[in-house]
């Protein structure tokens, strides 16, 4: 598809790609089409990458093992999650140490390893993550605490998570349920689309925003975060967003598709992005 010439020039200056995972690089335990080509191209050109995921159901180390098992380059320190960003936010703002976490055992263990204590009676904050072990009792406790005025923070706002069989409810869907049960209470969001998660990831490796690009399949998280962090934003159509959602006819666009979420570049998948890095098929 035809691309913007100025954005393609910016692409040629990218030294680090911030890569979403689900729907961008992989689906479940399967790499997506073009993944091998993309990472081979990065290696050939000496371009680095970080897997920057909103999915807080696993730790960075667990994701590194999962990605490596699929044959993808994911060494120590190559994954930065919204859970990691949330921990840094809590420490920076002196929130804690007692937390009530709606999240998987892996996420709760990650907080505990950083010195936080799980508490369901008098926590300093309620943390909402991608809780794939959700129970009614824990939702009820979260609603009670949030309604009483306890600080409420979400690792990320994604409504659904792409998997091999389609889509499953993510943290954003759980947040909608909690809003309905708390007279509209909404969390502070830490992960994408907030730009801080991108800034923190780039600071770790000493890369300037002008030398970075975020790649993802969601307009309202990946692309919005890239825009707000002033990095090149690249959409791939291998996950949640379809080409119809980018229609220039505003009457046909979902209300959430706004100018600040429109990508700089659009590719069918990261294999096609690899072609553009090699100067191929970029303006067809």
Neighbours of 143 (CB within 10 A): 19
Q: Which two tokens stand for residue 213?
A: 């690009």
Q: Is 16 left (phi over 0), alpha (psi -120 to 50) or beta?
A: beta
Q: What confidence category does residue 248 fall into, taking pLDDT thresholds of 50, 70 and 90?
A: low
Residue 254 has pLDDT above 80, yes or no: no
All domains in the chain, ordered by first residue? 5-54+192-277 (3.40.50.1000), 89-189 (3.40.50.1000)
The separation between the first and the last C-alpha atoms of the chain, rounded to the nearest angstrom, is 5
| 167-192 tens-digit pLDDT | 899 999 999 999 999 999 999 999 99
C-alpha span between 207 and 199 (Å, rounded): 9
* Distance from the Cα of residue 170 to its chain's centroid: 12
Of the listed ranges 26-30, 35-39, 228-232, the least confidently predicted one is 26-30
Nearest to 130 by CA among 91, 166, 167, 97: 167
In this structure, what token pair is assigned to residue 254?
């979902």
Check pLDDT > 50 for residue 50.
yes
pLDDT class for 270, splitting at 50, 70, 90?
very high
**CB neighbour list of residue 23: distance below 8 Å, 6 or more residues apart:** 32, 162, 216, 217, 218, 236, 238, 239, 240
Question: Which parts of 148-259 fold into alpha helices (H)?
Answer: 171-181, 196-205, 224-228
Check residue 162 and give its pLDDT. Answer: 82
Q: Is pLDDT at 33 greater than 60 in this prediction?
A: yes
Name the average pLDDT for the chain. Answer: 92
Distance of alpha carbon 217 from alpha carbon 280, whole angstroms: 22
With contact defined as beta carbons under 8 Å apart, do 61 and 17 qualify? no
């Amino acid at each position: 598809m035809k691309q913007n010439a100025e954005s393609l020039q910016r692409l040629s200056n990218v030294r680090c790609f911030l890569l979403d995972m689900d729907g961008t690089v992989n689906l479940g335990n399967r790499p997506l089409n073009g993944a091998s080509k993309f990472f081979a191209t990065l290696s050939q050109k000496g371009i680095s990458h970080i897997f920057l995921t909103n999915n807080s159901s696993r730790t960075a180390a667990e994701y590194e093992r999962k990605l490596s098992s699929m044959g993808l380059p994911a060494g120590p320190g190559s994954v930065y999650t919204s859970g990691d960003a949330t921990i840094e936010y809590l420490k920076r703002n002196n929130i804690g140490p007692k937390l009530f976490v709606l999240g998987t055992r892996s996420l709760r263990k990650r907080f505990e390893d950083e010195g936080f204590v799980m508490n369901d009676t008098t926590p300093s904050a309620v943390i909402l993550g991608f809780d794939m072990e959700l129970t009614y009792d824990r939702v009820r406790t979260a609603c009670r605490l949030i309604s009483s005025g306890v600080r409420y923070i979400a690792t990320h706002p994604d409504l659904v998570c792409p998997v091999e069989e389609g889509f499953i409810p993510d943290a954003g869907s759980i947040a909608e349920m909690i809003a309905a049960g708390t007279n509209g209470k909404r969390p502070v969001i830490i992960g994408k689309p907030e730009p801080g998660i991108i800034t923190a990831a780039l600071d770790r490796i000493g890369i300037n925003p002008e030398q970075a690009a975020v790649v993802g399949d969601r307009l309202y998280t990946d692309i919005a975060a890239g825009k707000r962090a002033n990095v090149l934003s690249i959409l791939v159509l291998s996950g949640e967003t379809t080409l119809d959602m980018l229609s220039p006819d505003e009457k046909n666009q979902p209300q959430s598709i706004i100018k600040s979420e429109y990508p700089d570049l659009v590719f069918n998948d990261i294999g096609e992005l690899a072609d553009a890095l090699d100067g191929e098929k970029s303006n067809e």
